[in-house]
Structure 1
Amino acid sequence: MPDWFEIALRTLFAVVFLFLLTKLLGKRQVTQLSLFEYITGITIGNLAAFLSTDLDSHWSLGMIALGVWALFSLGIEFVQLKSKRARDFLDGKATVLIKDGQIQEANLKKERMTSDDLLEQLRKKDVFRMADVEFALMETSGDLNILLKKENQPLTASDLGITVGVEQVSQAVIMDGKIMDEPLAAIKQDRTWLEGELKKLNLTADQVYLGQVDTYGQLSVDLYNDQITLPESQQKAQLLAILKKCEANLEMFGLSTEHKKAKAMYQRCAKKLDKVITDVKPHLIQ
C-alpha cells in the first residue's frame, strides 16, 4: 500500500473516530472547557494527528489510546457529577473580584490579573465605570459575571408592578425555500395558514430563504432576491409595543414624582391606557 494512501486512510479513520468520541464526551468539549477538559482536548487531538502520520505503528494502537483517554474523561465527569469535592479539585472554584463595590486585590493577584485586565473584562460586559459594580465573579471557565448596583440596574416591568405576557420563542417555519411542518405545529398553525400569509406578501415559499413567526403571530421573511421590496408586516405588533411602553412610562413617572396631584394624574392615565390596551389587544395580535 502506498504511503500517501495509508496516510489518507489513517486520517479518515482518525477523523471519524474523533468525531464519535467528541459526540460521546458531550457538548462541553466544544464550548467552555474546564482545565481537565482542555488538557483532554489537546491530548486527543495530538493522538489523532500522530495516528494519521506515524506509519511505523499500527493504527489500532492509536485507536486504543484515544479510547482510553475518552473513557478516562467520561469517568472523571461521572466522579464530578457525584462529588462536590471532585468538582472543586478538578475545575476549581469561582473567584470574587469585586465585593460590595470594593475590588478584592488579593483575589486579583491569585488569578494573576491586573487592574487593566479587570477593566477590560468589565468593558466586555458594557460596564465602563467600576463604581457601578456591586459584585463581580470570575467563573471557573474564565468568564466574568457582574451584578450592577441597584441604582444602575435597568428598570424592568417587575419594578413597575406590571405583569407582562409570556414571550414565545420565534419559530423558523421556512428554511431554504422549504416549509417546516414541525415548527408550524408548535405554533398551532398549518401550511394553509402559512400560504395565506405568504399570499398577503405576494410570495411563494420557494422565494423565501428564511421565514420566522414571532410571539404575535407575525411572519417575517428574508428572501433570496434582496431586490424585492416587502410591505411592512409588523405594524400591529409595533403599535401594541408602543402602547405598552407608554403605559410603562406613565407608571414610572407616577413613581418618580413626589407631587401628589401629578402622581394621581399619572396613575389615572396609566389605568385608562391599560384598559385601552386590553380592549385593542385582540385586534393587534391577529
Structure 2
Amino acid sequence: MMDYGRIAVELVIGFFALFSITQLLGKTQITQITPFDFISALVLGELVGNALYDNDIGVVKILFTLGLWGILIFLLETITQKVRKTRGLLEGRPSIVIHKGIINKKELKKSKLDIDQLRHLLRSKGAFSIQEVEYAILETDGTVSVLKKHPYAQPLNEDLNIPFKAVTLPIPVISDGEILKDNLDEFNLSEQWLLNEIKKIGYHNPKDIVFAEWEEGKPIYVMPYSEEDATTN
C-alpha cells in the first residue's frame, strides 16, 4: 500500500508540474512544434514516467528535474525570441524546395526529403501535381507552404469584382446545453438577450440546444438535441 500511495503522490505532483511547465512554455509547443520541441516534450513525459517506478527517486528530485528541464527550454525559447540571429541555429530555417516551378534537389537532400515525401506534403495542400506549384517552402515544423502557378491559383473576390462585404466572426454562445458567458461578455451580449433570441425560434431552455452560434448581422443559428439525445439527457 505504501508503494501505491507513493506512486499516487508522485503522479499527482508530476501531473501538475508538467501542466505548469507547458503553460510557461506557451502554445508554440503544440501549434509550431519543431523537432527539438517534440523531443523535449517526450523527455518531460519520460522524466515523470521513469521516476514513478524508481523507489530511489522522490518528489523533490522529480520537481528538481522537471524544473531544471523546463527552465532550460524556457531559456532557449527566450533566446530565440530576443536574439534573432540565433533562430536559424536553434529553430532551423524554412527551405525553398520548389523555386519557380523547379525542384531544388540540394534543399531536398539537406532536409532529408525525397520526391515521394514532397508529393505527399504538396497533396496535403491541394496540389496534386508538381507542375501546379510555383514555389514550395518547407517550414521548420515539417509542413509545406505552397504558392501555385497562375493558371492553378484560386481567384480572389477582387479578381471576380465581387462587392465588398464586411467579414464577421461566428461566436459559439451555447455548447452542450450550457450558455458560454465568456463569449457573450466579450461581445457585450447578455444572457437575457440570448434567451429572447432562442425563444423567437421556439426554444425556451438552453439545455434543449446542443450548439448555438451568433454572427453579427445574421440570425442566431441553433442546433437542438435530437429526440434520441433528448431522451438520454
| TM-score of the superposed pair, with normalisation by structure 1 | 0.73
Instruction: Find the residue that maps to 1:172 and give its secondary structure.
Output: strand
The answer to whether 1:211 aligns with 2:212 is yes
Q: Is the 8 A contact 1:44 1:66 kept in 2?
A: yes
Q: Percent identity?
A: 28
| CA displacement at 1:16 relative to structure 2 | 1.4
| CA displacement at 1:151 relative to structure 2 | 2.1
Alpha-carbon spacing, 1:66–1:192, altered in 2? closer, same or farther (3 Å): closer
Alpha-carbon spacing, 1:227–1:156, altered in 2? closer, same or farther (3 Å): farther
Alpha-carbon spacing, 1:220–1:68, altered in 2? closer, same or farther (3 Å): same
Query: Greater helix percent: which structure?
Result: 1
Alpha-carbon spacing, 1:194–1:66, altered in 2? closer, same or farther (3 Å): closer
Higher relative contact order (CA 8 A, sep 6+): 2
Q: Which amino acid in structure 2 is aligned with residue 96 of structure 1?
A: I
Q: Distance in 2 between matches of 1:6 and 1:185?
A: 44
| CA displacement at 1:33 relative to structure 2 | 1.6
Deviations along 1:146-197, one digit per CA (max 9) or x if unpaired, are 0011221111111234442221111112223233444345555544443343
Counterpart for residue 117 of structure 2:
117
CA RMSD in angstroms, aligned pairs only:
2.1
Q: How many residues align?
A: 228
Q: Which amino acid in structure 1 is aligned with residue 14 of structure 2?
A: A
Q: Distance in 2 between matches of 1:122 and 1:42?
A: 28
Alpha-carbon spacing, 1:14–1:200, altered in 2? closer, same or farther (3 Å): same
The aligned runs of 1:69-148 (5 Å cut-off) are 69-148=69-148
Q: Distance in 2 between matches of 1:180 and 1:84?
A: 40
| CA displacement at 1:200 relative to structure 2 | 3.2
Counterpart for residue 12 of structure 2:
12
| CA displacement at 1:112 relative to structure 2 | 1.9
The answer to whether 1:52 aligns with 2:28 is no
Instruction: Find the residue that maps to 1:98 and give its secondary structure.
Output: strand
Q: Distance in 2 between matches of 1:151 and 1:102?
A: 16
Q: Which amino acid in structure 2 is aligned with residue 118 of structure 1?
A: L
Higher Rg of the two aligned structures: 1
Counterpart for residue 30 of structure 2:
30
Alpha-carbon spacing, 1:119–1:65, altered in 2? closer, same or farther (3 Å): same
The aligned runs of 1:183-198 (5 Å cut-off) are 183-187=183-187, 189-198=189-198
| CA displacement at 1:81 relative to structure 2 | 1.0
In structure 1, list runs of 5 or more residues that go unmatched: 229-286
| CA displacement at 1:31 relative to structure 2 | 3.0
The answer to whether 1:169 aligns with 2:169 is yes
Deviations along 1:217-259, one digit per CA (max 9) or x if unpaired, are 221112122579xxxxxxxxxxxxxxxxxxxxxxxxxxxxxxx
| CA displacement at 1:8 relative to structure 2 | 1.7
Q: Is the 8 A contact 1:11 1:51 kept in 2?
A: no
Counterpart for residue 61 of structure 2:
61
Q: Is the 8 A contact 1:177 1:208 kept in 2?
A: yes
Alpha-carbon spacing, 1:177–1:156, altered in 2? closer, same or farther (3 Å): same
Q: Distance in 2 between matches of 1:191 and 1:35?
A: 45
| CA displacement at 1:45 relative to structure 2 | 1.3
Alpha-carbon spacing, 1:64–1:149, altered in 2? closer, same or farther (3 Å): same
Tell which deviates more after alignment, 146-155 or 210-219.
210-219
Q: Which amino acid in structure 2 is aligned with residue 168 of structure 1?
A: T
